Amino acid sequence: MEKVNFTDKFSKFDDLWSPKVVSELNDYQFKLVKLQGDFIWHSHADTDEAFIVIQGSMAIELRDRTVNLSEGEMFVVPMGVEHKPRAENECHVLLIEPTGVVNTGDSQSELTAENDVWI
């Protein structure tokens, strides 16, 4: 039951594509993640997933279009929709999704991060 300062929390880690939990809301979690480069195509069969850009810019590729997001913008990837996040330069993002969601969804990969890591 402490407030979260995003800048402070982002200063505590450097690894990419590895979401860190900073708060919970009922059975949902708020996770901070640093992105750079290309992620993999994946989807989440059971849930939507919210991306809010805190710093920098990124793209979320969908099969039929690309959503470009900059600081102060958000997008919700609907349940079951394949997506591939990417960022040319390091981008800081807040994710909101149910507790237990794995970053690579249905696509196990070397990019699959340890889940439920708090900072």
Residues of the shown chain interacting with a copy of itself in the complex, contacts defined by CB under 8 A? 1-7, 23-26, 28, 30, 47-50, 54, 67-69, 72-76, 78-79, 96-98
In sequence order, the β-bridge partners of residue 60 are 67, 85
CB closer to a copy of itself, 86 vs 109: 86
**Cβ partners under 8 Å of residue 94, min gap 6:** 6, 30, 31, 32, 51, 52, 53, 54
Residue whose C-alpha is closest to residue 35's, from 62, 2, 57: 57
CB closer to a copy of itself, 98 vs 115: 98
CB of residue 31 vs a copy of itself: minimum separation in angstroms? 12
Q: At 28, which helix (H) or strand (E)?
A: strand 28-38
CB closer to a copy of itself, 38 vs 48: 48
Residue whose C-alpha is closest to residue 103's, from 53, 32, 1: 32
CB of residue 12 vs a copy of itself: minimum separation in angstroms? 15
CB of residue 110 vs a copy of itself: minimum separation in angstroms? 28
CB closer to a copy of itself, 50 vs 119: 50
